[in-house]
Amino acid sequence: MGAYVTASVFRYDPEKDQEPRHEEYRVETDTDMSVLVLLDQIQKNIDPTLSFRSYCCGLQMCRSCLMKINGKKSFACITIVKPGERIVVEPASFPSLHLKDLVVAMADEQIGE
pLDDT at 107: 59
pLDDT at 95: 67
Strand partners, 9: 23, 89
Is residue 95 situated within a structural domain?
yes
Is residue 83 situated within a structural domain?
yes
pLDDT at 7: 98
For the chain, what is the radius of gyration of the CA atoms?
14
Is residue 78 situated within a structural domain?
yes
pLDDT at 83: 96
Is residue 111 situated within a structural domain?
no
Q: What is the pLDDT along the chain (113 residues), one digit of tens a residue?
A: 679 999 999 999 988 999 999 999 999 999 999 999 999 999 999 999 999 887 666 666 667 788 999 999 999 999 999 999 999 999 987 666 778 999 888 754 443 33
**Listed residue (13, 30, 12, 8) closest to 21, CA to CA:** 12
CATH number of the structural domain spanning residue 44: 3.10.20.30
Q: How many independent structural domains does the chain possess?
A: 1
Whether residue 9 contacts residue 26, with contact meaning beta carbons closer than 8 Å, is answered with no
CA angle (35 as vertex; 14, 63 as ends), nearest 5:
70
CA-to-CA distance for 113 and 68, rounded, in angstroms?
26
Domain that residue 66 falls in = 4-105
Is residue 62 situated within a structural domain?
yes
Task: Give the single-character DSSP code of 18.
Answer: S
Q: Are strands 4-11 and 86-91 parallel, antiparallel or unpaired?
A: parallel
Is residue 55 situated within a structural domain?
yes
pLDDT at 61: 61
Is residue 113 situated within a structural domain?
no
Helix ranges restricted to H, 1-113 = 35-45, 107-110
